[in-house]
Chains A and B, each alone.
Chain A
């Protein structure tokens, strides 16, 4: 019998590694290698040339970074901004450089002008013609665009399912009999869940499923960690997983409407600040960090939800960025978040927010100076934090010398390194490690736990899965409709990558040990919820044809007359 188990364990190890690699490669091929063509929304005729307008937010001018590049004499670097809204209304703004902007012979006011098909524009003395695309023409163009799915997502998902079954088998060999039914149920439910979502997407005609597959892959590893470390809580973990996926769908659906999304930024910012405020005032201290709120026997980390809100609020549409260039309110919002987190004592998350802030403010302003300014400020704040909170200073002191402190401040890191190395490339088998018994192994040292039980290769695949998603976010940004989605997707991925880096390298003593979670994999309900919700931003930026449920298909968006509020008037335009 034990011969058979050994044999099955060996087989499953290699099969799981093989499947991980295959899943990863297939997702890379689909997300990063398949053709990713832009949508065309309208044209701009410049002399004999006709430029396609592929975004909803376009900068017009001589600059290389202009979306519609007009390399003409006397043209300003950025001369005008042209935007489109959900209803298909185009508005042209003057940025008030030299040369002026006219439409049909009239100068453009500060609140812009609504463009109609065939309008004649005059930019710095050059005549251009705006050609809108009616729905039927857009449909024809859209029909030619590449649909994802050449790398069948169904097959990839099937491979993931096999991976999950082998993982479950490993748990079956190692888990206690009393926990096994619940573990099996959780894995089965996860498989049902992912196939249901996949089928639902097929029904509504959405073809891109790789983002979800990678998220489910990571969630599976998280489920394995939970089965190993807290098998008595499997039901809770399962319920949270279902809730997280539900919230993901909801958030994605919410993002379909850019106007709605943008309008809710302020209320969400206020909610986030209130949540943090409540957290600062009333919370339970768990080992130095008071980042837990509990009621009715359930506890959650508000900071995790605030992560989603932060990206939501931090992203912005380009026209808004271009016309109101100051970052003041965003910096104030970020500062309050980071200070609140520091007050709570959650310095790891504060650091994650800060790096996300840097990326967001760079994406928004393009100003390296701002980034350096922020870094300097943060350096001072960090110095202050280290001098006020001695335990942080101790962590820094331990960094790089964990083996000299292996019974004190280096306790966790040395165990993590040892366990990770003892797993080798192929691992000891799910549930068969010893690191799980070390405090916080299933959150802060989860990379080492995966290394120990499933091996270094799968642990690296786990990191690569997030890297692939990050590369996809960058790739999507290029073809995005609105910069809101592009910025949100990039900010999301920088947030998750920062978390990943702090988690993995903190536990491996390449960075100070800060105790943040590994996205999706670390045990923790709030973290799982926020990670899945953040994935909605990635889906919102996935502009491939019929790929994402979070993007309204362009060939089915009927043009409608502008809302009254969109009418250019003396009060300006809300975007």
Chain B
């Protein structure tokens, strides 16, 4: 019998293994319990706080029974790329990025409603509806922010889904936020960047004149334009959106200097909008030669720009060269300011952009009530279609809004993108939030 007794210790080994296993689990629970719990409980339990827009409109909340979205389907769809959904289909949505902040969890009580928090967005959900309406079914990205506070007031990307009633087969790209998560060929809006680089690197740029016959050959490679602009100043070249003048300017600035400015303006970096990662852009960095550099200077070649990066650029121009970093969450923190470009450069660009609007886009007649400084872009995608862009800001201390509108596979910037911007900016000015 005593032999058996001694051998019975083998059972204790099993018991010890279980104690060890249980200890490991408890330690892992302490370490990772929060992320474990929140991984699925956002779908399954009422531990969520609420997500409000800047005016207190509930975009997502828990009603005591289940997690809900805004009551109105129009609001849900227009704001889809801001909110995302509980299931995390849209990776860049606030619900996906901030679920950890919104839900309550403690090691003692597990997920709790008690510790769940309320997140307030800088976005105005009604402006998003206006933008969504103006987009009218096309694939587009619309961004508006207050360049003095950084608050993103409007962020709409289409196609989108209704998170409360998702389509069985969503439209292609319905889960991609075109404002943040993608970069597109910029076309002529990129001339703003080339212009800024030229102002800073060519001292007599405003004394120079540029001649355009609608066709120009660099080292045997043609650069074309829609029309012949003949003799024009730097300012007129931007207003004319003259490819030939800007190709020459880009070549004059030089690839390295231009690239350096593109990089300084943050077009090649991934940024974070209140913690939501954004896409990086592209500009030729290997030596490409003058013809290609000419095309790159007018926003073609391999140029890619994320609409969000362009929003930062136009914000900084509007705010006298100081960037107030855009933000999506109103957490009471002070705006993050940084010197983006020379105040003088910003001033010059502002004048040029205003001149462009007045001379070519119809000024006040086309944009009543808006003190607009802007630039269009019609980027050839290489498949016969084009991306229509419109980017700029209101030079109006009462309404300091910067904006970027991009419509994919559309017509021209002025005909397809500008009306969306006008609709949203007009609504914003009329509502005049915060100001």
Contacts and interface: CB of A to CB of B under 8 A. Distances in A.
Contact of A460 (B4, B12, B22): B22
A303 B110 CA distance: 37
Contact of A425 (B19, B40, B107): B107
Interface stretch (A272-280, A500-508, A545-553, A564-572): A500-508
Interface stretch (B29-37, B211-219, B374-382, B390-398): B29-37
B1 A480 contact: yes
Interface string A532-570: 000000000000000000000000000000000000000
Nearest to B16: A467
A426 B108 contact: yes
Interface in A417-439: 417-428, 434
Contacts of B36: 417-418, 420-422
Contacts of A494: 10-11, 14
Contacts of B45: 422, 428, 434
A493 B33 CA distance: 31
Contact of A463 (B18, B34, B108): B18
Interface in A393-449: 403, 406, 414-415, 417-428, 434
Interface residues of A, number: 59
A526 to B, nearest CB: 23
Given A424-B106, A424-B110, A434-B45, A497 B15 contact: yes
B33 to A, nearest CB: 4
Interface string B101-116: 0000111111110000
Given A65-B3, A66-B2, A497 B10 contact: no
The SS class assigned to the A binding surface is helix
A40 to B, nearest CB: 14
Interface string A310-343: 0000000010000000000000000000000000
A422 B14 contact: no
Contact of B22 (A66, A426, A463): A463
Contact of A414 (B7, B19, B39, B44): B39
A505 B6 CA distance: 28
Contact of B1 (A318, A417, A455, A456): A318
Interface in A432-489: 434, 452, 455-456, 460, 463, 467, 470-471, 473-474, 477-478, 480, 483, 486-487
Nearest to B106: A424
B2 A421 contact: no
A30 interface: no
A362 B22 CA distance: 26
A355 to B, nearest CB: 8
Interface in A92-131: none
A490 B8 contact: yes
A498 interface: yes
Contacts of A424: 106-112
Contacts of B1: 55, 57-59, 67, 318, 480, 483, 486
Interface string A196-215: 00000000000000000000
B25 interface: yes
B277 interface: no
A293 interface: no
B18 A428 contact: no
B202 interface: no
B38 to A, nearest CB: 8
A355 B38 CA distance: 36
A470 to B, nearest CB: 5
B4 A422 contact: no
A363 B10 CA distance: 8
B10 A422 contact: no
A422 B18 contact: no
Nearest to B12: A474
B5 interface: yes
B2 A505 contact: no
A379 B153 CA distance: 63
Given A463-B18, A490-B8, A498-B14, 6 more contacts: A66-B2, A366-B3, A414-B39, A426-B110, A478-B5, A493-B11
